[in-house]
Amino acid sequence: MKKILLIIITIVTNVSLIAQPANDNCAGAISLTVNTTCTPVTGDVSGASQSLPANTTCSTASSANDDVWYWFVATNQFMNVTVVGSNGFDPVFEVYSISCGGTSLGCTNANSTFGGTETVCLSGLITGSAYWVRIYDSGTGIPTTTTFTICITTCTPTGINETVVKEDVINIFPNPSNGKFNISSTKNNIESIKIINLLGEQVFSLYNKQNQTENTTIDLSRETKGIYFVRIEDENKNTIDKKIVLQ
């Protein structure tokens, strides 16, 4: 009888009874408030389980065995997501639109260090629409520390902080595109073109297009399918914003 009790006590002692967090799955995602400055919200992956496979395009992580979920409503087309890991936590985060785990807008693990800060300025978001953020540790096991902080703020992507001209004088076609498309101006000459993805990363640039109003052919066929932000500067230093959809 004593041996049986000892076995039972040993089993109970060695079995982890850590409760799953409320936001372990996307359906339980925690709402975040958008602020003008970062107001950190503490999160914890302790007891979390995998809801979707790891996105290996942004991290060497082979498992998202401890992902948790958050969501926010965009108050601007430019939103910044910042996640800071604790001392033993290397954060990876991925942003989705449409629905829980719907269309991935991209993910990041740029620092790939314990206690690192991951931050991305998303562009081209739709004001009033909901977006979801999935966070997990880049390691395959249980991290030595399981906490992190997250905040959502407004931002301006790198290289697109100039005054924007609202007059529609730029044509982009075909749009949507298979990756190859044309840009032309119906008024002033184009001097520069910058194309930025939804993570705020510049993926294409073209400068000194003097006396160029005719078609400029762009090839982004090697880029990931999705929405891209196009900024054109004309000969008068005006800037025009457009979007191109790759599919």
pLDDT in tens, 193-203: 989 887 667 89
- Look at residue 2 and tell me whether its pLDDT is greater than 70: no
DSSP 7: H
> How many residues make up the chain in this entry?
247
- Look at residue 21 and tell me whether its pLDDT is greater than 70: yes
Residue 209 has what pLDDT? Answer: 56
Which two three-digit tokens encode residue 94? 């991925």
Confidence of residue 215 (pLDDT cuts 50, 70, 90): confident
Question: Which one is predicted more confidently, 198 or 26?
Answer: 26
Q: pTM score, two decimals?
A: 0.62
Contact 228, 197 (CB under 8 A): yes
Mean of per-residue pLDDT scores for the chain: 82
CA angle 224, 227, 228 (to 5 degrees): 90
